[in-house]
Amino acid sequence: MLRSSTPLLARWNDGSRWNDGHLWSGSSTPAPAAPFLPSSPITLNTHTTMQSWEITKDRAQLSLTVWTQHAPALTIGTQGTTELNALIVQFEPLVQLRAVKQDDADAAYRAGQTTLQKLKLLGTRIPQILEGQLGDNVLLMKDLKDVYQISPRSEGTILERARALYPLWVRANTTLAAMTPAQPPITRVLQGVAQTAAMFKALLDGYTTQVQAISDTEGLLDSTRKDLTDLDDATDTLIKKWYKVMKASYDPGSPEYEALDSIPTEGSTPAPDTIEINTVLQGGTSGLQVLVDYVPGGGAHATTKLLKWMVVGVDADFTHSVPLTDAGDAIGPFTIGQVVKVETEATNSAGTRTSAVRTITIETPIV
Ordered domains of the chain (ranges, CATH): 31-51+274-367 (2.60.40.10), 52-269 (no CATH)
CA angle 311, 29, 107 (to 5 degrees): 45
Model pLDDT, residue 311:
98
Q: What is the pTM of this model?
A: 0.81
Q: Is 84 helix (H, G, I), strand (E, B) or coil?
A: helix
76 forms bridges with which residues in the sheet?
79
* DSSP for 117-140, written as a single string: HHHHHHHHHHHHHHHHHHTT-HHH
> Whole-angstrom Cα distance, residue 365 to residue 122?
14
Mean pLDDT, each 10-residue run in order, the chain (367 residues)? 37 39 38 39 46 94 97 97 98 97 97 97 97 96 97 96 98 97 97 96 97 97 97 97 96 96 86 95 94 96 97 96 97 97 95 95 94
Model pLDDT, residue 118:
97
> Whole-angstrom Cα distance, residue 16 to residue 8?
9
Model pLDDT, residue 48:
54
* DSSP for 33-93, written as a single string: PPPP--SSPPPPP-SPEE-HHHHHHHHHHHHHHHHHHH-TT--BTTB-HHHHHHHHTTHHH
Model pLDDT, residue 57:
96
Model pLDDT, residue 49:
64
